[in-house]
A = this chain, B = another copy of it.
Amino acid sequence: MIEVGQIYTHDFNFSQDEVNRFAEVTGDKNPVHLNADYAAKTMFKKPIMHGMLSASLFSKVFGTLFPGEGTIYLKQSLSFLKPMYVDVNYEAVFTVKEVLKDKNRAIVETLIKDKTSGIVCTSGEATVMNVDKIK
């Protein structure tokens, strides 16, 4: 059961190889994600992860861990606040803000923090529906 105030966390990191594979499958081959020489000339200094790759963590957690299988993703807002890099440890933090029992929905704050510094890199809010667990 999901309750207001509940917090779920999930640690992750991505490698450059995973970023490359994400670029291949989505077609997002922006060189700032893939080419170290190109990235060195930008404000980021080195390749940054695709924002949608980090956002995919939210989808992974909702669909497989919290609340898990059966969850339907209705909405997600995303603010890409800080660049995210490969081989850095991040923590996705989910906080249940609202439970709409009659609609079988929950509104969940979704953050990605740098695991070491605690700095929020991506923020947002999700609306999910789950036929089994939000009751």
Contact = CB atoms under 8 A, between A and B. Distances in A.
Contact of A76 (B24, B31, B57, B78): B78
A37 interface: no
B31 A25 contact: no
Interface in A1-42: 12, 18, 21-22, 24-33
Given A55-B52, A78-B77, A64 B26 contact: no
Label chain A's interface by main secondary structure.
helix
Interface residues of A, number: 36
A34 to B, nearest CB: 11
A89 to B, nearest CB: 15
A80 interface: yes
